[in-house]
């Protein structure tokens, strides 16, 4: 898995690059602040793999980058 910076993500979105953005934080964290994308909490990712796109890059994000 490749790591990218917030600056890289911003540039990708500005260019209109096709990507799936997934927020892996918990719902209560996402309610405080969101940069868009889909909410799939980290503990649910394995059970919801059918929602992860296979035809484009997927970017996962959390609060700290440690999840």
Residue 61, helix vs strand vs coil: strand
**In this model, does residue 66 exceed pLDDT 70?**
no
Better-scored residue on pLDDT, 67 or 40: 40
pTM for the model: 0.87
Residues 6+ apart with CB under 8 A from 29: 63
**In this model, does residue 32 exceed pLDDT 90?**
yes
Nearest alpha carbon to residue 22 among 5, 42, 6: 42
Nearest alpha carbon to residue 12 among 65, 62, 61, 50: 61
Distance of alpha carbon 44 from alpha carbon 9, whole angstroms: 23
Fold classified for 6-61: Oxidized Rhodanese; domain 1 (3.40.250)
Domain ranges of the chain: 6-61
Average pLDDT over all residues of the chain:
93
């Amino acid at each position: 898995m490749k790591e990218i910076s917030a600056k890289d993500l911003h540039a990708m979105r500005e260019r209109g690059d096709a990507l799936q953005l997934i927020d892996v934080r918990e719902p209560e964290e996402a309610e405080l602040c969101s940069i868009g994308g889909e909410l799939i909490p980290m503990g649910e990712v394995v059970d919801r793999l059918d929602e992860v796109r296979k035809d484009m890059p997927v970017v996962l994000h959390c609060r700290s980058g440690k999840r």
